[in-house]
Each structure stands twice: as C-alpha cells, then as structure tokens.
Structure 1
Amino acid sequence: MYELTGVTKRYTRGKEAVHALDGVDLTIGDGDRLVIQGPTGGGKSTLLQMLGGLDRPTSGEVVLDGVDLAKLPEARLTRVRSENIGFVFQSFNLIPTLTAQENVETALVPLGIKAAERRERAAQALMSVGLGERLGHLPGEMSGGQQQRVAIARAVVKRPKVLLADEPTGNLDESTRDEIMDVLERLWKEQGLTFVMVTHDSTLARKAPRLATLRKGRITVKENAGA
C-alpha cells in the first residue's frame, strides 16, 4: 500500500529552516490501522498530508500502490485523491447551506457519477453511520457528533482504499468520542480500509494495532501487543 522512503519536509519560518519531517521511512500495508501520536509541531499533520497527496515532500518518496505521489502531475494527483483517499478532519468541514445528503454527495461529483446514483449512495453512506433519518438536515441542525458522522459518510461514500483522519474526535466529548471511534473501526473492518489516524488522545492510541510516534520530524513505530 504505502512505502515512504527518506521523506523530508522543510519550511522556512523567518530566517529559520524548520524540518517538519526529517528522513521518515514508513511502510503501511493494505488494511493496516495505524495511529500517529506526538507533541504539537512534531510533524503529525504534515505526514498525514503527505499520505493524502495534499502536500509534496521536499525530498523522498511517498509511494501508494507503486505510484510515487510526490512526482505525479497535479491533475493526476487530484484524481488519485478523489478516487482512492477519504479524509476526516477535526473541524468536520461541512458546507453549512447543504443538507447531510448533499454534503456527502459532494465527494462523488468529481468522479462523474450521475445525480440519481449520487443520491442513492449518499443515503446508504449516511445510513451506515447511523444517520438514515437525518438526510435532509443542515449541519447547524445537528450535534457535533452527528456532523462528524456526516463527514465520515462523505469520506467513505466514494469507496476509497485509504481513510485518513486528523484528530477526528478532537472537538467531541468522551462519550461521543467513543461512539465515533466505534463507527470508524467498524467501517475499517467492513470495508477493508487502510486507516491512518492522527490523535493526541492516549486512550485511542493504546487501542491501535500499530502506533507511530513523531518527534521533531523523526518517526518510531511499534506494534501494540495489547490492542
């Protein structure tokens, strides 16, 4: 699935060079569930952006299914993201003027899927996250947990190979956090997804089969025997 080799990302902050990633080597297999932890500014979100093709490394390779995302033309990279990678963010990123069903449908528009099929697949995706009775509700009419479920449905409606989640429970209380993680883990198993999640929550990290820790752009990975 993923093979990262010598991935470096440098930014310039004033006169200072910042190494967000510093020679990261990482392998993620098909169907893996990997949690990424580490201090603020350690490179977690930058690594997730590399995996999702949202940013390019300064040097190194980010290979997904034999294709180096770092070298793809922008149009083809956009296509890879649209077809193969689902994203879930802390802030939900829903369009406030669209219903839950319409928000989910937006993920299918770039794929050229006709309107009737978009509606049907969006409804099915929302039912799979427990929102079958909320298809016509606007984001402002739903709780934070329900909005995150819509965001998850939008991420998986296109049937991606990869699901990337950046602090997906960061804005939620403990009870809702557990409900959202139950949804994510169930979808990971049912759909055979490769699931990579960034979190500050040590409780969630301890439950992951594999745990990567990023500090100052350097990565260490261990297997969680008790997960």
Structure 2
Amino acid sequence: MYKLSGVTKRYSRGKETVDALRGIDLVIEDGDQLVIQGPTGGGKSTLLQMIGGLDRPTSGSVELDGVDLGRLSEAKLTKVRSENIGIIFQSFNLIPTLTAQENVETALVPMGTKTAERRRLAAEALTAVGLGERLGHLPSELSGGQQQRVAIARALVKKPKVLLADEPTGNLDEGTRDEIMALLEGLWQEYGLTFILVTHDSAIAKNAPRLATIKQGLVTVTEQRQAVRL
C-alpha cells in the first residue's frame, strides 16, 4: 500500500520557486488501478516520480508498505525500485542495439539473475505480451506498438508489485492505443498489480476505476467505477 502524506515538491527556476506538488495526501491500496490526469505542467509526472522513487519530495512522505522512500539511502532505494516497481515510459526507452529479448533481460541484471534464467524469463514475458515470435528483432524492426510491448515486458519480467506508466500511449495511434490499454488492463487483472498510469487522454481517464485529477499541484480523487478482477 502507498501512503502519501503532505507531499510537496518545490523547484527553483532562476529566481523563481515553483511548487509542482502542494501538500498531496493520497492512499493507494494494493491492487488498485489509479489514473492520474491533468494539464501539461500540472504535476502529474512529478507525482508519478515520487511514487516510483525516482525523485524525493521537498517535504512530506511517500510510504510503500510502511517504508518512507524519501528516507532511504540511494542504494536501498535502487533495490526497492529494481525488485518492486516496474516503469513504462512514453518513449519506450529501448536500447537500439539490443534485441527485444536482450532489452527485457536488462531489467533482471541488477537483481543478479543468471544468464540462462534471464533468457527464459525474458522469452516468457515477451510471449505474454504477444511477441513470442519477435525475440530476436531489434527495436528498429518493430512497430511503435510492438516496441511498447517490449517495454511492458521489460517492466513486468521481474514480477514487480507495482506497475507505473507515464503516458504509455502518447506516441501511438488510436487503434494501437486501445490495444496497449487492453493489454495493460489484462496484465493488471492477471498479476494483481498496483497499477498507476499518467495520461492526458480523456478516453483512457474516463474508463479508470479511480481518477486522480491534478491541477496546479493539487489532487482530487474520484471513484468512477468498481474495479473488476478476473
């Protein structure tokens, strides 16, 4: 479970101080699906970075299972991220000289997984996202939707507790967007993940069980529908 208490993030831009987050209080239960929506510059990606342990709040606390991420050493925080949190980005962030399978394997290297086991788990993860026949393909040989599937497999191969997605469909056309969202929804249901997604897309936001609308660093949470588990 996540518990955010009074989370503030303040940046300095020259002589100006900007409050990206202004005292956020938020609870995200295990297995929840939460979509974060808001205008550009409203703080949604900053909030996701706090949740993912990619940045630390100026004040307040972000707790995951009772552990304050902001108080961990960098080494311990990296360990929490590598073992418990999978992250998907809009730009895929694949290494162009590595095959799909090798890109997925990179998520297992920090965990000390042996080579043969890395290969097996990466192949399984790619098969789970519909790319079992594309293990040896480079990113340049894959479509945008397929590259995002590789990124999803990379995030899930370590079997994380939490899946974070920052505009995962932002570079995709509408049809591919729907395919990727259906895939993510199915994986959330199948693996019992805590799934937190940032989007500017109202079509995605309106279908979320819980919607956190963020504007000028402040959050309003709306319960929109009952989450459905398979």
TM-score normalised according to structure 2 size: 0.98
1:16 and 1:215 map into 2 onto residues whose CA distance is 19
* Letter aligned with residue 174 of structure 1: E
Match of 2:92 in 1: 92
Gaps of 5+ in 2: none
- Confirm whether residue 83 of structure 1 aligns to residue 79 of structure 2: no
* 1:38-84 Cα distance to aligned partner (Å, 9 max, x none): 11101000000000000000000000011000000000000000000
- Stretches (4+) displaced over 6 A: none
Gaps of 5+ in 1: none
* Letter aligned with residue 100 of structure 1: A
Match of 1:15 in 2: 15
CA contact (8 A) 1:207 1:226 kept: no
Question: Percent identity, aligned pairs only?
Answer: 77
Give 1:120-199 correspondences, 5 Å limit: 120-199=120-199
Give 1:56-75 correspondences, 5 Å limit: 56-75=56-75
1:12 and 1:35 map into 2 onto residues whose CA distance is 28
Give 1:23-42 correspondences, 5 Å limit: 23-42=23-42
Aligned residues: CA RMSD: 0.8
* 1:103-156 Cα distance to aligned partner (Å, 9 max, x none): 000000000010000000000000000000000000000000000000000000
2:226 and 2:120 map into 1 onto residues whose CA distance is 40
1:150 and 1:119 map into 2 onto residues whose CA distance is 14
1:122 and 1:39 map into 2 onto residues whose CA distance is 36
Residue 98 of structure 1 aligns to a residue whose secondary structure is coil
* Letter aligned with residue 42 of structure 1: G
TM-score normalised according to structure 1 size: 0.99
Measured after TM superposition, the shift of residue 225 of structure 1 is 3.2
Residue 190 of structure 1 aligns to a residue whose secondary structure is helix
* 1:2-61 Cα distance to aligned partner (Å, 9 max, x none): 000000000011111100000000000000000000111010000000000000000000
**What count of residue pairs does the alignment treat as equivalent?**
227
